[in-house]
Amino acid sequence: MPVIEVADLVKEFSRPKQQEGAFAGIRTLLTREQTVKRAVDGVNFTVQRGEMVGYLGPNGAGKSTTIKMLTGILVPTSGTVTVAGTTPWRDRSRNARRIGVVFGQRSQLWWDLPLRDSLWLISRLYDVPQARFREKQRQFSEVLDLGPFLDTPVRQLSLGQRMRGDLAAAMLYDPDILYLDEPTVGLDVIAKERIRTFVGELNRTSGTTVILTTHDLDDVEELCDRIILIDHGKVAYDGAVDELKTRYAPHRELVVQTDGLESVEGAEVVRREGGKVWLRFDPVRTPPADLVAAVLAQHRVTDLSIVEPELESVIHRIYADRG
């Protein structure tokens, strides 16, 4: 059952045109010329309940603009957004009860109050029954280890602690959908891992739909089955992570440590370094087992491994191709 439906979504922004040359400031001030920028240019997709989707794109591709329209912050120029049966910006309050939003850069918590107060306030704003709230708070305190800083004012928390607090606040009222915008930016490895584990667990146990935008593709590889790539305001790719790799990076590389390998049938030598040789091959035409057998038959090999392409390099290639 689709929980998010986006159809022909467009968002334009207009700005007074920036003039150049002498007296640029004053001429910009007086101009009537407007530059219209299409930040989102006809985006379509649907998300099923319980999916975890990575929504990716370079800066300025229209990523945040889309998320802001999904969450009801921005009103689309044209097209429709339906989230759990409602139009977010028109039915803002009802939509707000069904979604949790975590902006990595900006806290949702009350800056000058202890975390505990923020959580309590959120529970009251979302009409969470107090017994349920206490249970949730206990549960989150355990999983996210909030205990040590529940009574510290939010402004004194470290970034990692604050993110955990924000996640707890966003999930306190059991929303159907969780939007995460750069949830791990600026965090150390351990803090990142803790957040990923929490989100993964949440999706498995409560069936929460997760929409994740991030620059950290490890987040995506670990959490998401599906990614939507956006570029210049349009969807560049929408599908499974594995399929993206097969489609855009069909080659694998066999790395062998050996003595003087010149060439092998079905593979191409792409790099040599020390005693190591990198062989690129297409696993559909040359099954890996055959290739390995062929190499082992002719050479004395001391070490051998097959390298999968990383998501990051795949995505780089897509953007490079599209220019």
Partner 1 sequence: MSALMADAAAKQPVVTLLRAHLACARMEFRAALTYRTAYLSSFAMMLLQIWLLTVVWKALYDGREEVDGLGLTTMTAYATLTTLQYHLVSPWRSSPIDQRVREGKVAVDLLRPVGFPGQMLAGQLGWASAAVPVLLVALPFALLIGAGQAPASTAAGFAYPVALIGALLVNQLLGLLLGMVSFWTLEVSGALMAYRFVAQFFSGALVPLWFMPGPIRAAAEWLPFQATAYTPAAVYLGQVEGVGIAAALGVQLAWIAALGTLASFVWSRARRRVLSQGG
Partner 2 sequence: MRGPRVYLLLAGAAFRAEFQYRGNLFINIIGGLFYQGVGLAFIWAVLDRFGQVGGWGLGEIAFLYGMRLTAHGLWVLPGHQLIHVDEVVIEGEYDRYLVRPVSPLVQLLTRRVRLSSLGDLAGGSALLVIASASAPVDWSPGAVCFLLLAVVGGALVEGSLQLAASALVFRMKRVSPIKFAIDMIFSDFGNYPLKIFGPVAGFALTFVFPLAFVAYLPATVLMDRGEELAVPEWLAWGAPGIGVVLMYAAYRFWERQSRYYESSGH
Q: How many residues does the chain have?
A: 323
Cβ 259 vs Cβ 300: under 8 Å: yes
CA–CA gap between residue 9 and residue 224 (Å, rounded): 23
Q: Which does 28 bind (CB under 5 to 8 A by kind): partner 1, partner 2, none?
A: partner 1
Kindly give the interhelix angle for 115-125 and 159-171, rounded to the nearest 10 degrees.
Answer: 20
State in angstroms the smallest separation of the CB of 99 from partner 2. Answer: 7
Residue selected from 7, 8, 17, 26 as contacting partner 1 according to rule CB under 8 A: 26
Instruction: Tell whether residue 19 is a contact of partner 1 (CB under 8 A).
Output: no
Residue selected from 21, 25, 129, 260 as contacting partner 1 according to rule CB under 8 A: 25
- Within 42-71, which residues bind partner 2 (CB under 8 A)? 60, 62, 64-65, 68, 71
CA–CA gap between residue 72 and residue 67 (Å, rounded): 9
Phi–psi pair at 200, nearest 5 degrees: -60, -45
State in angstroms the smallest separation of the CB of 248 from partner 1. Answer: 40
Instruction: Tell whether residue 316 is a contact of partner 2 (CB under 8 A).
Output: no
- Within 175-204, which residues bind partner 2 (CB under 8 A)? none
One-letter-per-residue 3-state SS of 98-145: HEEEEECCCCCCCCCCEHHHHHHHHHHHCCCCHHHHHHHHHHHHHHCC
Q: What residues line the site for partner 1 (CB under 8 A)?
A: 16, 25-26, 28-29
Q: What residues line the site for partner 2 (CB under 8 A)?
A: 13, 39, 60, 62, 64-65, 68, 71-75, 89, 92-94, 96-97, 99, 101, 103, 106, 108, 110-113, 117, 121, 124-126, 153
